[in-house]
Structure 1
């Protein structure tokens, strides 16, 4: 199958980098012609990003996440102790 395709390409003069005939559009030109036109309104480019402000927000979000996780972990441990898992609560705490 592959050999047949290669042979067909060679017989048309396309194998080995042979140029396309003058009356045939090149692949790049055909790709441009076939590209669909964008639909809907064309949006303006986004505003520039202030990476200092972005990083401050990211750090603040990560700190908030860490504090929330710690609070949830403490709440879960307290709930387990209240539910009667006394051995688990006191393990390692002397």
Structure 2
């Protein structure tokens, strides 16, 4: 194994120039399709959407919390009403 080059296969002195050429070609070749630059971002619109999403989440969380508290209250009342029966 000591006689093999860094790229493997042939001895180091024969393979080294080809290995360097291949690495250079790979570095210069584009990786994947070349895409156009993204459109400019309107940060004002982005922030408005973000604020709206956060407000919606807060309202949803408050509604779910109220629903949970009401359910707990109803469950407690049901248990108190049915505790003496059976």
In the superposition, the TM-score normalised over structure 2's length comes to 0.56
Count of residue pairs brought into register by the alignment: 86
- Name structure 2 gaps, 5 residues minimum: none
Give matches, 1:1-94, under 5 Å: 35=27, 37-84=29-76
- Name structure 1 gaps, 5 residues minimum: 1-8
Task: Tell me: higher relative CO, structure 1 or 2? Use CA pairs within 8 A at least 6 residues apart.
Answer: 2
Q: In 2, distance between residues paired with 1:78 and 1:71?
A: 11
Deviations 1:32-77 (CA, angstroms, capped at 9, x unpaired): 6663733332111110000010010011001001000000000000
- Cα RMSD over matched residues? 7.3
> Larger % of helix: which?
2
